[in-house]
Structure 1
Amino acid sequence: MSLKDVLGKIVGDKPVVLELDLARGVLVAKPTNPLQAVQLINSPTVAALREHLTAAADDERVLGLIVHATPTGLQLAHLEEIAELVEQFGTKKTTMAWAESFGELVQGLGAYRLAASAQEVWIQPTGMLAIEGVELSITLLKGLLNKVGVEPQFGQRHEYKTAANTYASDVVTGPHREMMQRIGQSVVDGVVEAIARLRNLPVDQVWEAVNSSPVEPERARELGLVDHIGYRDEAYAHALGEWGADPENLLFAHRYTSRAALVRKLRPKQPKVAVVSLRGAIVTGRGVRTPVGGEQAGADVVDEHLRAALRDDDVKAVVFDVDSPGGSAVASDFIRRSVLRLREAGKPVVAHMGAVAASGGYYVAMPSDEIVAQASTLTGSIGVLAGKMVTQRLYDKLGLVRETIHVGSAAGALSSAHEFTDEDWERLDAWLDRIYLDFTTFAAQDRGMDYEDLERIARGRVWTGADAKERGLVDHLGGQRLAVERACALAGLNPDTVKLGHVGDSGLLDLLRPATSSETVAGGAAVADGEQLLAALAARVGLISRGALSVPWGLRIS
């Protein structure tokens, strides 16, 4: 029996229609807790969609793809990447997207952005297109903190580093408002232009729908935003009938297996592109995973994974997958050094930014050979902040007596027991100036820009990926697939024959495998104790900063 016959028995020969059901959820990364592991039973990861949709596009058994494009909790940048995968699949196969409604008293712009990447769009007769743009909210905590007796004291570099404003300002500043307005405008401009291109419509016509939302189905069809009005059964019957398929041919996209994928796995030796992930707030040490504060990116763990790629002779290039709002300055610089070592060894590094790679997240990505971001990725924020919450009045309100004893003239500078003295402010300002100078100097070097040009677009300002590309902070707009292609191009590799290896990404089992030394890729993040859980929760709700290189609290585009 030939290899082809063996593989045919494994994958089967009957026609297949793939499904992507956003109602079941999509995980951005492999599970990091038991609840996500259960969800993975019926939900794909973005990585699985990258692999399977790319392979299925060249499989003669696959007839097409049906997407249930319901609104989801995914951030817009991740929806953009999935939309690109659907669009690329549609260059070789037929595609259809449907939804009961693109939003029902909830935002539907992201879901419709994904649906528009399919060749046909269906909507239920009672549904609507709720694609009214985005609203960004600025929340300042100082008034609440003052009411309970806490006085926030923060320094920042510079006027756009608005994470400091979140705690220490009682008015929305002009630069803060300007930055947020531009982020929102850039995001909606990008989505509208993508929809217009995909639906072959004038941009003004799409803006008409945005500004008049919610749009009823008949009007949406008149504007060219949907093709058919009908229920799920009608949409499926129409698609399957045209494609010559039956309901028995349906298969979730992440359950699909191709002969080509199996052949690649059977090849004994192939050049590898290593994928190293950094997700969550950047901290020194190993970081912790908590149910309240989300995942932390421990610099020690990320460095171990980058060093593993450096040691592996089969690894010819690295894709650095970054999804982080930043955090510790020294931890970010520690990771930056590891990226530079890979480049010095002749292994190209391409950073792939997720929903957010700003402040410390930008710091670790900027030394890469090239940077790939989505149009709505939040990035930049080249700036710094630091400070403390003074709790003396809170203690007084509670009737508590606290006396501090200092040993050393600089002792207690960051203590919450008292306000900064003039000498404390001098120390803090000197530290902020030093970090800001390091950040901007390294950024200018890494991006090949004059310092003055870089500093003008730094100053703590958050940019969307689209605006960042115009200003030279990123190189390409796209998803991880493009990042892999660019890494292969830089390394002189064929992207169709390389093996993608996810370093240290074995999920929950990785946490249980014992490490033999600090050179071992094992052990993962630490388990959070009670104090760490409380600290993570405080960071989550904005009561404490996650580090000197952090982006504004609660900034999310979905």
Structure 2
Amino acid sequence: MRLSTVFTSLLMLGLWVISAPAQLEFPTYHTQTDFALASPGGFRTGSQGYLNPAVLAYVHQGDLVFSFSDPGDSFKTYRQVGFSFAVPNFSFNLLNEKIPGLGRITNYNLALSWGGRRSSVGLGYHWATDTIGGFERKTRVTLGSLYRPNRYLSAGLTTTLATNSRQREYAGDLALRPLGDETLTLFGDYGLQEHSSVEEGHWSVGGIVELLDGMRLTARYFDTEAFNVGVNFSFGHESVTMQSHYDAEQEHLFNSYSVRLGGRERSVIRDRYLHQKRFIRVEMNGSLRYQTYQWFDDGKTLMDYIDWIQQAKEDPAVGGMMINLSGMKINREMLWELRQELLDFQSTGKTVIMYADRLGIDEYHFASVADQLVLDPEGMITLEGYLMGLTFIKGTLDKLGLAFDEWRYFKYKSAAEALSREGMSDGDREQRQALVDDYYQLAKDDICASRSLDPAELDRIINEEVLLSPQEALDAGLIDEIARWEGEGQELLETIVGKDKKLVSSEALVNTAPPVYPYWGEPRRIAVVYALGICAMDEGIKARQLSRVIEKIAKDTSIKAVILRVDSPGGDGLASDLVAEALRKCKEAGKPVVVSQGYVAASGGYWLSMYGDVIVAAPNTITGSIGVIGGWLYNAGIKESLGMTTDHVRVGDHADLGFGIRMPYLGWQIPDRNLNAEEQAEVETLIKSHYDVFVKKVAEGRGLPADEIEEIAQGRVWSGLDGMEIGLVDELGGLSTAIRLAKEKASIPADEPVTLVSYPRKGLVNVEQFMPRLLGVDLRTGQPDVLDYIQFRLEHNGQPLLMLPLEQMEGNDLFEVLKSME
């Protein structure tokens, strides 16, 4: 059921009036405000949903509240005592009150809410017990609604109905924040019993001023000329409230007090008391992905780490981060992004400590950012430099009895070289050398800047020493300490920075953080769309599904901008174009589109990117490769050596193209013959035509002449650094940079929090992870890489492809890199 339908139904029920009069048999709205600093929508979560259950949509963590009021002359007895427990969308409240000369009544309340921060509805059920003989307080139901369209306005309505009589009461409250935050809140409310005139209703008005974070002064004036003044202090996870209540004659009546324990609030007192006394512990073992399944998935994502670093940066109680790199398996592009985040973290004067046991050059490049780098006594640093290489299988195909005809018309488009050659072409060698040169220079510049090393000395270490023991690394100035991370790491922290610092987990940082969005209303939303893996219709990026997702985003008025994160080596041009066209239409619908390129966004991956308003890449991103390639794998003796034969009938001169044996068990369809001269001429025309379209679309998307794109095309890959110089990339950065630019393009202030919505939605659970446990054998192992590669080529036999080589790249299998990020 839509929220608007529920909202309307509850209001209609609340406005239902039965004409027969009745005596009031439950406490009225304004007689239940002794512990409330403001009307329900004016402050925090409005007495934990006691008066308006709809406000429970704003509870972000669990809260316990204990309240009491004195009789005005001593603390020996109390007038009222209350207890509240609230979690998101649910609360339980208890209020015990003294009836002078009669006894005590205990009121109970259960409340639920539905909806979001913009609009919500709620249901509360009240009942009571007493020590007064013959007294009967009716059970009742409260229906509530809350509407907060923006940061400035809050409006609430409630209807309270006795369950076994015709008694009704209606109340509404309105609150304003002229500055859009908690600095100043003005509020008012009005309650009316059924069958009473408007003049007989009761009202109150007031205001709350926040002098410092978590230090608030309040005042509230009632139509009876009574008034309250109060103060609220937040200490982070705790807060205290005191109010003094006065009658119409300005005589003091009593005081009320509340103590809250639970979710963290902003607090200048806490921040000063704990100033930089905490260090955040981060365990970086394992791989890093973009998305996780909703259940049974403890994997970490790139955004998880970015959020932890940014939250720690903004938290005055955090003095630094202590990061364990043991077992880390993260690709170099993601490591560069996280390194940039840590540099930003350090810019606030906070400290980064890292522990490692074994580091290669990518890992050391990342770790060099640390203020204190600790290496295990049995650890090692390997600074081997950078390499990109291929395994060529032309000879393997010859031995298998297979032949491959490479359809290559562009100098640098080398995606099929591994099947057709025994070594690199000049064009491929040139572009790969440029990439490793950029990788090396980037690492060298960063390492020397962070470690204050002479560049020539780092060159010498890489070329002459390569392997460094802990002591050698210490002597060379590559590390600061030799020690071991034991247990939770507190002992190591104390060794480095002293005993006055406490180590807390990154999860604790998230769980104890104040509300991410401290304002009224829904934060504006930005969609983060992931295009991961090969460009294909129903695998990899799943273009058929992804294009539909983007079309829906274009129509969603709550989405203010789109970030496309691309990690793809390309593939099927149709798949790439489907997604690219959906993004272009998204732009035309008025939504800014910012592209964030990850480890690789080349060929078909660049086709995905080309219509972005801004393209952001890391300096070590692989981008470009504007070109098309194809090829034909066919029988050259495998059929005969296996003793297989084929036969057919046909209609059409070319009907036998692609026909051949089907390999038992493997399921490969291997064509009997190569293309003839006529067919090859048709293929050449098709590929060149496809290439011309690619170049023209990139020129259109980048706003450049086609001849300028042609000069940097021909299938050449570029680093992100070079890509920016030649106009394929607009800015160097990562996801954080893309978020900043998306906010800027959508006219969202830089300091305003937004909600990032991830697309396409990840499933509930990854069933595949349970298969080995269920069957006793790991079914995910798959077949050898060379067979995978041959199968991929056969599945796309004869198709013009926009893609990079899928073979071994600089020692990292691109298949594995992409799979680890899914």
1:327 corresponding residue in structure 2: 571
1:240 corresponding residue in structure 2: 494
1:395–1:401 CA contact under 8 A, matched in 2: yes
1:541 corresponding residue in structure 2: 789
Cα 1:331/1:306, change in 2 over 3 Å: same
Q: Which is worse superposed, 539-548 or 498-507?
A: 539-548
1:55–1:258 CA contact under 8 A, matched in 2: no
- Shift of residue 162 of structure 1? 0.9
1:140-151 equivalences under 5 Å are 140-151=392-403
From 549, 552, 556, the equivalent of 2:805 is 552
Cα 1:109/1:70, change in 2 over 3 Å: farther
How big is each residue's C-alpha offset from its partner over 1:332-351, in whole Å with a ceiling of 9 and x where there is no partner? 11111111112222211111
Cα 1:127/1:259, change in 2 over 3 Å: closer
How big is each residue's C-alpha offset from its partner over 1:35-69, in whole Å with a ceiling of 9 and x where there is no partner? xx65x42x421111112211221112223111122
From 17, 26, 30, the equivalent of 2:291 is 30
1:268 corresponding residue in structure 2: 521
How big is each residue's C-alpha offset from its partner over 1:510-558, in whole Å with a ceiling of 9 and x where there is no partner? 999xxxxxxxxxxxxxxxxxxxx99998784354336611101224456
1:275–1:500 CA contact under 8 A, matched in 2: no
2:449 corresponds to 1:197? yes
2:480 corresponding residue in structure 1: 227
How big is each residue's C-alpha offset from its partner over 1:477-507, in whole Å with a ceiling of 9 and x where there is no partner? 2110011111112222124324233243442
SS in 2 for 1:297: coil
Q: Distance in 1 between matches of 2:490 and 2:460?
A: 30
More helix by share: 1
More strand by share: 2
Cα 1:243/1:222, change in 2 over 3 Å: closer
2:613 corresponds to 1:369? yes
Structure 2: which amino acid aligns with 1:541?
A: Y
2:322 corresponds to 1:66? yes
How big is each residue's C-alpha offset from its partner over 1:265-312, in whole Å with a ceiling of 9 and x where there is no partner? 87432222111111111112xx24xxxxxxx11112221221222111
2:292–2:300 CA contact under 8 A, matched in 1: no
Whose radius of gyration is greater, 1 or 2? 2
1:407-556 equivalences under 5 Å are 407-415=651-659, 416-509=671-764, 540-545=788-793, 548-556=801-809
From 321, 339, 356, the equivalent of 1:99 is 356
How big is each residue's C-alpha offset from its partner over 1:331-372, in whole Å with a ceiling of 9 and x where there is no partner? 111111111112222211111111111110011011101111
Structure 2: which amino acid aligns with 1:504?
A: Y
1:302-317 equivalences under 5 Å are 302-317=546-561
2:461 corresponding residue in structure 1: 209
Q: Distance in 1 between matches of 2:696 and 2:792?
A: 28
SS in 1 for 2:416: helix
1:114 corresponding residue in structure 2: 366
SS in 2 for 1:446: helix
Cα 1:509/1:267, change in 2 over 3 Å: farther
Structure 2: which amino acid aligns with 1:231?
A: R
2:279 corresponding residue in structure 1: 17
Cα 1:355/1:119, change in 2 over 3 Å: same
Cα 1:542/1:204, change in 2 over 3 Å: farther
1:272–1:498 CA contact under 8 A, matched in 2: no
Q: Distance in 1 between matches of 2:682 and 2:520?
A: 59
Q: Distance in 2 between matches of 1:6 and 1:277?
A: 40
From 419, 424, 436, the equivalent of 1:167 is 419
- Shift of residue 183 of structure 1? 1.6
1:278-293 equivalences under 5 Å are 278-284=531-537, 287-288=538-539
Unaligned runs of 5+ in 2: 1-35, 37-42, 45-213, 215-233, 238-261, 660-670, 768-780, 813-822
How big is each residue's C-alpha offset from its partner over 1:97-141, in whole Å with a ceiling of 9 and x where there is no partner? 111232xxxxx1111112112211111234332011122221112
2:485–2:492 CA contact under 8 A, matched in 1: no
How big is each residue's C-alpha offset from its partner over 1:145-190, in whole Å with a ceiling of 9 and x where there is no partner? 1111111122124121111112222342211222222222211111
1:360 corresponding residue in structure 2: 604
Q: Which is worse superposed, 141-150 or 205-214?
A: 205-214
- Shift of residue 244 of structure 1? 5.4
Q: Distance in 2 between matches of 1:166 and 1:143?
A: 10
Cα 1:346/1:6, change in 2 over 3 Å: farther
Q: Distance in 1 between matches of 2:551 and 2:236?
A: 36
Cα 1:186/1:539, change in 2 over 3 Å: farther
2:381–2:473 CA contact under 8 A, matched in 1: yes
How big is each residue's C-alpha offset from its partner over 1:13-52, in whole Å with a ceiling of 9 and x where there is no partner? 77542122222x24222236x9xx65x42x4211111122
Q: Distance in 1 between matches of 2:468 and 2:738?
A: 36
1:322–1:351 CA contact under 8 A, matched in 2: yes
How big is each residue's C-alpha offset from its partner over 1:58-94, in whole Å with a ceiling of 9 and x where there is no partner? 1122231111224633211111112222222222221
Q: Distance in 1 between matches of 2:516 and 2:479?
A: 40
Structure 2: which amino acid aligns with 1:208?
A: R
1:389-404 equivalences under 5 Å are 389-391=633-635, 393-404=637-648
2:346 corresponding residue in structure 1: 90
Q: Distance in 2 between matches of 1:47 and 1:129?
A: 28
Structure 1: which amino acid aligns with 2:554?
A: L
Q: Distance in 2 between matches of 1:493 and 1:507?
A: 27
SS in 1 for 2:611: coil
- Shift of residue 253 of structure 1? 2.3
Cα 1:419/1:153, change in 2 over 3 Å: same
Structure 2: which amino acid aligns with 1:101?
A: R
How big is each residue's C-alpha offset from its partner over 1:380-400, in whole Å with a ceiling of 9 and x where there is no partner? 111111122102521111111
Q: Distance in 2 between matches of 1:412 and 1:256?
A: 65
Structure 1: which amino acid aligns with 2:494?
A: L
SS in 2 for 1:113: helix
Q: Which is worse superposed, 262-271 or 401-410?
A: 262-271
Detail structure 1 runs of 4+ shifted over 4 Å in the superposition: 1-7, 11-15, 233-236, 241-247, 258-261, 533-540
Q: Distance in 2 between matches of 1:263 and 1:215?
A: 44
Q: Distance in 1 between matches of 2:338 and 2:739?
A: 16
2:402–2:636 CA contact under 8 A, matched in 1: yes
Cα 1:229/1:242, change in 2 over 3 Å: closer
Structure 2: which amino acid aligns with 1:324?
A: S
Q: Which is worse superposed, 400-409 or 337-346?
A: 400-409
1:326–1:549 CA contact under 8 A, matched in 2: yes
Q: Distance in 2 between matches of 1:54 and 1:251?
A: 16
Unaligned runs of 5+ in 1: 103-107, 289-295, 513-532
* Cα root mean square deviation, aligned: 2.9
1:67–1:115 CA contact under 8 A, matched in 2: no
2:313 corresponding residue in structure 1: 57
How big is each residue's C-alpha offset from its partner over 1:214-250, in whole Å with a ceiling of 9 and x where there is no partner? 1333443343322222333598535335655579x43
- Shift of residue 432 of structure 1? 0.5
SS in 1 for 2:619: coil
SS in 2 for 1:544: helix
1:297 corresponding residue in structure 2: 541
SS in 2 for 1:330: helix
Cα 1:246/1:420, change in 2 over 3 Å: farther
Q: Distance in 1 between matches of 2:805 and 2:684?
A: 20
Cα 1:505/1:366, change in 2 over 3 Å: same
2:493–2:503 CA contact under 8 A, matched in 1: no
